[in-house]
A = this chain, B = another copy of it.
Amino acid sequence: MVENMDKIFIRDLKKYSDKEVTLHGWVYSLRSIGKIWFMILRDGTGMLQCVVVKNDVDQETFQKEELLTQESSVSVTGIVRLEQRAIGGVELGVKAIEIHQIADEYPISPKEHGTAFLMDNRHLWIRSKKQHAILKVRHQVIRAARNFFDDNDFVLFDSPMLTANAAEGTTSLFNVDYYDRTAYLSQTGQLYGEAGAMSFNRVYVFGPTFRAEKSKTRRHLTEFWMLEPEIAYCDINENMEWAEKLIMHIVNHCLENCQAEFEILERDVSKLEQIKMPFPRLTYDEAAKLLNDKDIDFEYGTDFGGADETVIAEQFDSPVIIHRWPAEIKAFYMKRANDNPDLALGMDILAPEGYGEIIGGGQREDDHDILVERIKEHKLPMEPFKWYLDLRKYGSVPHSGFGLGLERTVTWICGIKHIRETIPFPRTMARLEP
């Protein structure tokens, strides 16, 4: 086998009609009807029906059917033929097969497996059609977001994973032995992003974040990725526009680039196609009233629960922005509304179809003395925030930002149930392997 960079992939085969090609991949399935046998080959870019006809190949090649097993690795040479009935619209008339390795009996079969079994075999499960498609959509969601920021004057600004203090409370932080002291895994890059915005104007932080939550719901991972733009000279209204445009860009990019994946996932793309800007904007008060009008037992002043979020989101085709929140349920760094100090200029975005919150953010308090008061009110230690307070002493400006939970977004875009399927190797309270 000659390796080279310019390999031909199944995805591109239509260009090679009537040509002889060699493809490298894995046996997805085998089927025989006597003097002809069929092999579905997967190569990571698509699936291809390979046809082996007894009279067209030598005996040794024809007999390879007996050797091959699911997931065996092969290089197959043959002639590309357009064939409407075959997956992808082409098939391969096989001339030769080179076997690299005969796979042991493959543990994952088309029959139903339990979640624990599939998660234990995540390193193999990612080869399955649906998992494969989800992770490809993940890549495109990330690509869309990065392109959006890069094309809108944002500078990528990587925040640290290892931090020195447990500023916002230690209960859901992971401790790390850091030489002779303790470090904590970062839950957000926001505060660092704010420092970045004062240098670069518009920045985005993108990396893993960690939460040691003792929660086993299908919406929680202990390790997940967040996209966190932070924008100088930006108020809550502009912030909502950025969030809205980002989501719209992700949706449009995926509609254009993930058609094959959506088909595999049986995603009802009409739900994505009907999303339009501007997204509906509700104040917290309006959202609370909406729930009360529907006779839902919701206590004003608390956060919305998952069921509440679903009811609110169901009223609209597009994601819903909820803004101006009771200050006491929002973080200390949120700016208060000028006309009502009980309200924080926060904004959350709920995905449609009951997928819940995918964005949380808001305008940041930019006054040094008010921020000091807030830190005291929240009974937080002052020392760890010294550097953060510096940002208000040296050229403080109105600024805003938000965090988009990547895996929640991918779950919604794919229209699937479980967030654990949206990351190659999910980490939960009970799972650290493989």
Chain A residues within 8 Å of B, Cβ to Cβ? 1, 3-5, 7, 9, 24-27, 43-45, 71-73, 75, 100-101, 103-104, 106, 121, 123-124, 126-127, 132, 135-136, 138-139, 142-143, 146, 150, 153, 155-164, 174-179, 181, 183, 185, 192, 195-202, 207-208, 210, 212, 222-223, 225, 232-235, 237-238, 241-242, 245, 366, 387-388, 390-398, 423-425, 427, 429, 432-434
Contact = CB atoms under 8 A, between A and B. Distances in A.
Contact of A207 (B103, B192, B207): B207
Nearest to A234: B3
A255 to B, nearest CB: 18
A115 to B, nearest CB: 17
Given A157-B135, A159-B425, A161-B208, A43 B397 contact: no
B142 A104 contact: no
Given A424-B157, A432-B181, A196 B45 contact: no
B233 A3 contact: yes
B44 A202 contact: yes
A153 to B, nearest CB: 6
Query: Lowest 7 CB-CB distances: which A-B pairs, in order?
Result: A44-B201, A387-B434, A123-B195, A73-B395, A164-B432, A71-B395, A24-B233
Contact of A176 (B185, B201, B207, B388): B185
A101 B233 CA distance: 12
Given A123-B387, A196-B126, A207-B207, A201 B71 contact: no
Given A135-B157, A155-B136, A164-B432, A9 B201 contact: yes
Contact of A432 (B4, B72, B103, B178): B178
A225 B158 contact: yes
B139 A156 contact: yes
A397 B202 contact: no
Given A158-B423, A390-B123, A434-B387, A3 B132 contact: no
A27 B153 CA distance: 21
A135 B201 CA distance: 13
A257 to B, nearest CB: 11
A391 B9 CA distance: 21
Contacts of A146: 143, 146
Given A233-B3, A394-B106, A177 B178 contact: no
Nearest to A425: B160
A104 B142 CA distance: 40
